Amino acid sequence: MVAAAAAPVAPPVAPPPAPQDEITGKASWYSTVPGTCASPRLPFGTVVTVTDLADGASLHCTVEDRQAVAAGRVIDLSETAFSQLAGLSVGVVEVRLTW
């Protein structure tokens, strides 16, 4: 008697993505290397998604610096990055950070 072949095993299902941390507040700009940003608390090397709350525009930057403490401000972006969200003359925009 011939044994029946075993049913194929389904590949494992990838777990859902880990929950992201999130914070909202103000973003400003300073003169630094494009693609980098400054945070008062996030570890260096953290890749952050910055979303403008006014229009939903977003960008990514890597924390490479510490920002000066300022009430309500959560990140300082490079001039290049900030200009993707608003004109430099605006100075500050409300954003959501996820990482």
* pLDDT tens track for 20-42: 899 999 999 999 999 999 999 99
Question: Residue 21's closest CA among 41, 2, 1?
Answer: 41
pLDDT band of 3, cuts 50, 70, 90: low
Entry pTM: 0.79
Question: In Å, how far from its chain's centre is CA 56?
Answer: 13
What's the helix, strand, coil split of the chain in %, to 5?
A: 10, 40, 50
Return the higher-pLDDT residue of 94 and 10. 94
Cβ atoms of residues 93 and 84 within 8 Å = no
Other Cβ atoms closer than 10 A to 28? 19
**What mean pLDDT do residues 48-75 have?**
95
User: What is the CATH code of the structural domain delimited by 22-98?
Assistant: 2.40.40.10
- Helical segments of the chain, H only: 79-85
Q: Tokens representing 8?
A: 């194929």
